[in-house]
Amino acid sequence: MILDPSERNFPSFSLTRLMRTCFGQGRGERLCLLIDLPDPAQVKDFAFLKDETKPIQKYGYEVFYNGFHEGALEELNFTGGDFFAYRETGGSNLDMDDDVYDRQGNKLSLDKDIYPHYGIILTISTFSATAPLTAKAKQFGFRGATLHGLNQVILNTGLAVDYNEVSDDTETLRQGMTRADYFEIDFEVGGEKSTLRIICNGQEAQKSHGLCPPGKPDVANLPAGEVYFVPEGAEGSFPFKYSDGTISILRVTEGFIKEARLVNGDSAQVEAHNEKLLSDPMTGAIGELGLGTQILPFSGRDIQDEKILGTVHVATGRSDHLGGHLTPDLFKEKANASHDDILYAPHKTPEFKVPEVRMVRGGQTEVIIRDYRPAAYIIGLLEGKTTAA
C-alpha cells in the first residue's frame, strides 16, 4: 500500500462531489454557511473580504458560497445557500454566542433563526465549533460539517478524497482496535522517557469518517479519518509543547492532569498552567484518544494533520460531542470549557520521539504506531492480511 502522500494522485477538489458523498443527494433541504469573525457585523456586504488576516473565511465565501450559487445548489437539490457570521469564541470547541449576523447586517439568533430553519449547516471558522454544533444538531435535528482552519493544502487533498473509501478504511481500523483494554504511548524528549496509559475498558471504538447521511442529526468534522475513544481513565505522564515552544511534562492520575513540570523554556508558562489546573481541575481532564487513518500530506492545520495515519492525539476538556460525560457545565469558567487536541506528529512536535503506541486487548499486545509510522499490525489490517478480533 502507498504510505507516502507524495506518491498519491489526488483528484481536483469538487464541491458537489464532497457534498454528495458526505450528505447524499439533497431532498430540498435548506443549506447555510457560518463563519466566525472578531466582529461578526463585518459580514455585511462581505466587508471581511478586505481583511487579509481572514483567509479561512475567504475560502468559505469563494469556494463554498460562490460554488453553491454557481450551480452546486441546484445540482445537489439543496436550497438557500445563505451566509452568516457569529463572534469568534476564542478557543477550540467553546460554546458560541447566540447572536449572528446576515450579509445585510441584520442581527439574528442562532437558536431562533438559524438552527430550526436549515437542514444542512456548514461552519468554516478559525476555531473549531464541532462540540457546540453537535449539541445543537441533536437539539434541532439538522446535519452539518465543521471545517475550521481551512487552507489550500486541505482543499487539494483532505477534502478532495473519496469519503466512501475513507469510511471503509476507518471502519477497518476501528474494528481492529475496538474493545481495547488500554493503550500506551511512549514518549522521549531530551533523553527523558515517559509513558501515558489511556484506559478504555473494552469500550466500542468510534470513528470520524466524513459521512453524514440523511435520517440522523449529526455533524461531520472535515477533513475526517480517525478512530477515537473517550477514555475511562488515564495514568502516567506525557510531554506538552506550549505555543511559544516551552516544553513541560504533564503528570496524569485518575484521568486528570495534576501537574506540569518544566523541561525547558519559559517557567511562567508552566506556572500559569498549574494555576489553571488548580483553579479549574476539569481543564486537565483527558477527554479523548484519537488515531489518524488517512494517507495525506501535512497541512500545518491540526484539523487535517490529526487524521494522518501514524499520528496520535490526546485531548483535554469536554467530551460530550464524542459521547462522553464531560459537559461545559462541569467547568468553573465558561471560557475553560473547551476541547483541545494535543497532536503528536513529526512536523508539529519534532522535539518529541514517539517510539511506540501499543494496544492491549484481551491479553494481547499489538504495536500500532512506531516512530510516527503505522506498524505492521495496522498495515496488515488495511491490506487485509490481519484479521480484526
Task: Name every residue whose Cβ is closer than 8 Å to that of residue 165 and which is 6 or more positions away in sequence.
Answer: none
Chain centre to alpha carbon of residue 253: 25
pLDDT reported for residue 389: 58
Strands 143-146, 120-124: pairing is: parallel
Measured at the CA of 276, the angle between CA 272 and CA 280, to 5 degrees, comes to 175
Closest CA to 33 of 145, 161, 152: 145
Task: Name every residue whose Cβ is closer than 8 Å to that of residue 87 and which is 6 or more positions away in sequence.
Answer: 36, 37, 38, 39, 40, 96, 97, 99
Helix (H, G, I), strand (E, B) or coil at 201: coil
CA distance 255 to 272: 21
Helix (H, G, I), strand (E, B) or coil at 71: helix
State pTM to two decimals. Answer: 0.95
CA distance 151 to 301: 8
Distances (CA, A) of 377 to 115, 179, 306, 365: 43, 16, 20, 10
Name the packing angle between helices 163-177 and 376-383 (round to 10°).
Answer: 130
Whether the CB-CB separation of 220 and 233 falls below 8 Å is answered with: no
CA distance 229 to 233: 11
pLDDT reported for residue 305: 98
pLDDT reported for residue 280: 97
Tell me the one-letter amino acid at 320: D
Q: How close are the terminal C-alpha atoms of the chain, in Å?
A: 22
Closest CA to 79 of 15, 30, 20: 30
Count CB atoms within 10 A of the CB of residue 182: 21
- Where do we find the cell 483532505? 158
CA distance 129 to 368: 30
Strand segments (E) across 147-242: 182-189, 192-199, 206-208, 218-221, 226-229, 233-241
Distances (CA, A) of 266 to 136, 285, 381: 39, 24, 43
> pLDDT tens per residue, the chain (389 residues)?
788 998 999 999 999 999 999 999 999 999 999 999 999 999 999 999 999 999 999 999 999 999 999 999 999 999 999 999 999 999 999 999 999 999 999 999 999 999 999 999 999 999 999 999 999 999 999 999 999 999 999 999 999 999 999 999 999 999 999 999 999 999 999 999 999 999 999 999 999 999 999 999 999 999 999 999 999 999 999 999 999 999 999 999 999 999 999 999 999 999 999 999 999 999 999 999 999 999 999 999 999 999 999 999 999 999 999 999 999 999 999 999 999 999 999 999 999 999 999 999 999 999 999 999 999 999 999 999 776 65
Whether the CB-CB separation of 131 and 40 falls below 8 Å is answered with: no
Helix (H, G, I), strand (E, B) or coil at 324: coil
Q: pLDDT tens-digit profile of 214-235?
A: 999 999 999 999 999 999 999 9
Mean pLDDT of the chain: 96
Whether the CB-CB separation of 228 and 247 falls below 8 Å is answered with: no
pLDDT reported for residue 379: 97
Q: pLDDT tens-digit profile of 2-21?
A: 889 989 999 999 999 999 99
